[in-house]
Amino acid sequence: QQQVKQSPQSLIVQKGGISIINCAYENTAFDYFPWYQQFPGKGPALLIAIRPDVSEKKEGRFTISFNKSAKQFSLHIMDSQPGDSATYFCAAFNTGTASKLTFGTGTRLQVTL
């Protein structure tokens, strides 16, 4: 059972544009939602994370929007750059019990010139 659904599978954005990646979860016990960025040949790097008590968190060009009632959250990359080309994973964690990250299937982002 896939508990975190991620879309789109791939995304092409022009330099300077906004990249938007969406995730939806099923388990309401999840209470921590990070995003990871992975370049080829590297491990996932923690980008930004949010908890359900806030609806938005911004760090530089990266923003997470969180909709608790809809059980959805999204990553927005403003002013996308070619260096942002990577695979992005959303994840969810239940701090109460699970102690494991449940990942989405990943979005391959390509930022063109």
Partner 1 sequence: KAGVTQTPRYLIKTRGQQVTLSCSPISGHRSVSWYQQTPGQGLQFLFEYFSETQRNKGNFPGRFSGRQFSNSRSEMNVSTLELGDSALYLCASSSPGSRETQYFGPGTRLLVL
Alpha carbon distance 101, 86 (integer Å) = 20
Nearer to partner 1, 73 or 89 (CB): 89
Paired tokens of 27: 């388990």
Candidates 19-27, 33-41, 63-71, 74-82 — which segment interacts with partner 1 by CB under 8 A?
Answer: 33-41
Complete DSSP assignment for 20-68 = EEEEEE--TT--BEEEEEE-TTS--EEEEEE-TT-SEEEETTEEEEEET
Stretch that binds partner 1, among 11-19, 61-69, 74-82, 98-106 (CB under 8 A): 98-106
Site for partner 1 in 50-89 (CB under 8 A): 89
Q: Is 100 in the site for partner 1 (CB under 8 A)?
A: yes
Q: Is 40 near partner 1 (CB under 8 A)?
A: no
In the complex with partner 1, which residue's Cβ is closer, 17 or 24?
24
